[in-house]
């Protein structure tokens, strides 16, 4: 009898443990109720901050509201490479469903951290030359997204229209910034068609911006600034130097005109973010990056800064002001 009870107890214990193990096993692969999106922003500057805002709005447009049916893990790497690496790895560890890289170095850090999790690019100038995708039309791997390639021809045409007598165009860019270098080369190739000679100037960080800008301002008639992450965060430093020599600065984006540029036909940074957010939503719903082409915006908005024009003694034709008022923005 004792033996029988012992056998029954052992049997019950066995069944009990078996039950416990099996229910625990069922819990593990269960799908998370709310998906997580990891957003890695390279650093703070007004353009990237606008893109971040736009991503959240684009997600909402597509049915994903933060705090309701999507969780955002937002990380700002403060322009530090080792931050970008650890933050990317953290997204992978926490099993983020989709990750987003804002600016090229952030996207490259994500690409190094995962070949599986879908990565959406937030305004990367040329994903192919940054080695993020095999082709911009058919990415092939786990990466797709939005390009912020500026309409360079329209911009050069505008500079020629506002500066009919200018001959030398200074182009300033950070040596390590792939995005800025790609555009600087494009400007160098195209400027001749608009009657400009290009002089290139390089900086390694904000530390030498003041000095290089000083040398540049005494050798050129106008300045072109590409989508350069370092300069986008230091427009005040550049403009203080160029204003003193009455040299206008033509940046590539809206936010940099607001920060002291004279004019541009530029991509609206917030809208780039909205487009990115919509692609994140599509990826959350299972759309494959491999076969989703990179999205390129085709036209920019005309933005003129009349405060800057007045400071520099440059007259902007009324037709340009009217056009900006109608289709873009006039800063007064």
Instruction: Quote the tokens at residue 272.
Output: 């780039």
Q: Which is nearer to ligand TRP, 58 or 166 (CB)?
A: 58
Q: How far is the CB of 164 from ligand TRP (least distance, A)?
A: 27
DSSP string for residues in 71-127: EEEEEE-TT-HHHHHHHHHHHHHTT-SEEEEESHHHHHHHHHH-SSS-EEEES-S-T
Q: Residues touching ligand TRP: how many (CB under 6 A)?
A: 14
Rounded CA separation 214/99 (Å)? 40
Q: How far is the CB of 36 from ligand TRP (least distance, A)?
A: 24
Answer yes or no whether residue 228 interacts with ligand TRP by CB under 6 A: yes
Q: Which of residues 161-220 bind ligand TRP (CB under 6 A)?
A: 179
Q: Which is nearer to ligand TRP, 156 or 253 (CB)?
A: 253
Q: Which is nearer to ligand TRP, 97 or 151 (CB)?
A: 151
Instruction: Quote the tokens at residue 103.
Output: 């600016």
Rounded CA separation 243/215 (Å)? 13
Q: Which of residues 97-126 bind ligand TRP (CB under 6 A)?
A: 103-104, 123-125
Helix (H) or strand (E) holding 295: strand 295-296
Rounded CA separation 207/233 (Å)? 12
Partners of 223 in beta bridges: 170, 249
Helix (H, G, I), strand (E, B) or coil at 224: strand
Answer yes or no whether residue 132 interacts with ligand TRP by CB under 6 A: no
Q: What would you report as the CA-atom Rg of the chain, rounded to the nearest whole angstrom? A: 26
Q: Of 83, 134, 72, which Cα lies nearest the Cα of 110?
A: 83
Q: Which is nearer to ligand TRP, 124 or 294 (CB)?
A: 124
Q: How far is the CB of 163 from ligand TRP (least distance, A)?
A: 22
Rounded CA separation 142/147 (Å)? 16
Q: How far is the CB of 257 from ligand TRP (least distance, A)?
A: 11
Stretch that binds ligand TRP, among 56-64, 209-217, 228-236, 278-286 (CB under 6 A): 228-236
Among 232, 234, 280, 309, binds ligand TRP (CB under 6 A): 232
Helix (H, G, I), strand (E, B) or coil at 207: helix
Rounded CA separation 39/75 (Å)? 6
Answer yes or no whether residue 49 interacts with ligand TRP by CB under 6 A: no
Q: Which is nearer to ligand TRP, 170 or 261 (CB)?
A: 261
Q: Which of residues 243-302 bind ligand TRP (CB under 6 A)?
A: 253, 269
Burial of 184 (0-12, 13-18, 19+ CB in 10 A): buried
Q: Which is nearer to ligand TRP, 239 or 253 (CB)?
A: 253
Q: Which of residues 50-89 bind ligand TRP (CB under 6 A)?
A: none
Among 37, 47, 59, 166, binds ligand TRP (CB under 6 A): 47
* Contact positions vs ligand TRP (CB under 6 A): 47, 103-104, 123-125, 148, 179, 227-229, 232, 253, 269
């Amino acid at each position: 009898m004792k033996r029988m009870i012992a056998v029954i107890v052992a049997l019950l214990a066995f069944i009990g443990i078996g039950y416990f193990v099996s229910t625990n096993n069922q819990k593990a692969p269960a799908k998370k109720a709310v998906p997580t999106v990891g957003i890695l922003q390279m650093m703070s500057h007004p353009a990237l901050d606008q893109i971040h805002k736009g991503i959240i709005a684009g997600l909402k447009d597509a049915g994903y509201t933060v705090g309701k049916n999507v969780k955002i893990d937002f990380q700002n790497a403060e322009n530090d490479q080792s931050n970008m690496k650890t933050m990317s790895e953290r997204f992978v560890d926490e099993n983020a469903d989709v990750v987003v890289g804002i600016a090229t170095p952030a996207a490259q850090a994500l690409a190094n951290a995962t070949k599986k999790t879908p990565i959406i690019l937030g305004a990367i100038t040329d994903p192919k030359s940054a080695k993020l995708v095999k082709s911009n039309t058919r990415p092939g791997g786990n990466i797709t997204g939005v390009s912020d390639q500026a309409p360079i021809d329209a911009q050069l045409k505008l500079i020629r229209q506002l500066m009919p007598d200018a001959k030398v165009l200074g182009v300033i860019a950070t040596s390590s910034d792939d995005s800025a270098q790609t555009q600087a080369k494009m400007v160098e190739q195209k400027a001749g068609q608009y009657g400009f000679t290009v002089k290139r100037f390089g900086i390694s960080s904000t530390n030498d911006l003041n000095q290089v800008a000083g040398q540049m301002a005494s050798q050129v008639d106008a300045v072109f600034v590409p989508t350069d992450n370092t300069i986008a965060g230091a427009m005040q430093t550049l403009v203080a130097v160029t204003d003193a020599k009455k040299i206008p600065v033509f940046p590539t984006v809206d936010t940099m005109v607001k920060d002291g540029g004279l004019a541009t036909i530029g991509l609206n940074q917030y809208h780039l973010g909205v487009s990115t957010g919509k692609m994140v939503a599509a990826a959350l719903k299972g759309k494959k990056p491999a076969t989703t082409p990179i999205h390129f915006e085709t036209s920019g908005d005309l933005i003129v800064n009349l405060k800057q024009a007045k400071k520099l003694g440059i007259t902007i034709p009324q037709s340009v002001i009217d056009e900006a008022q109608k289709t873009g923005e006039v800063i007064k």
